Copies of this chain bind each other. A is one copy, B any other.
Amino acid sequence: MLKMSSDVKDIEEELSFGEVEHSAAFLTRLAQVTVYERIFARSEALPLGLAEITVMTLIALNPKARQGEIADALKIKWPRMTKLVRALEEQGLVERIVPKGDRRSVMLGLTPKGQELTTAIRPKMEALDQEVTAILSPEEREQLIELLWKLIIGGNQDAS
């Protein structure tokens, strides 16, 4: 037992969280960090980061999408998206296509190599995602997904 103490379960038995225990801001962050931790702990060797994998998956599903549309959908900032796409391009996974209609924009596509990798990695990612949420029953998991989507899509009163 070499661990010192990064186990929320242990801590949570000792420390009081007060109202923070019911804070959506706190819990969404803690959940995100926890899930990412578990994924990295289980998948010694993902060939790409989660952001990169998600971007490539969306490119595969949305062949006509502009770079900025995909960035916005994933809430990746444009400056970061530029670098991320360039890195994928340098690895020969992604193509940047400037359409004739609007030559300011950039359409993204997967190279054959990118297609292969995306196809190969997809089931692995889904399995990982199931594993790190295995504590939830299928019904609870689906409920959580639905509630998160509702929260994300819904409350845009402040958008403009």
Taking beta carbons and an 8 Å cutoff, which residues of A are in contact with B?
1-3, 5-9, 11-12, 14-39, 41-42, 50, 54, 57-58, 60-62, 65, 68-70, 72-75, 122, 125-126, 128-129, 132-136, 140-141, 143-145, 147-160
Contacts and interface: CB of A to CB of B under 8 A. Distances in A.
Nearest to A160: B3
A56 to B, nearest CB: 11
Contact of A68 (B5, B28, B126, B136): B5
Copies per assembly: 2
A157 B9 CA distance: 12
A35 to B, nearest CB: 5
Given A5-B68, A54-B20, A72-B11, A158 B29 contact: no
A33 B27 CA distance: 12
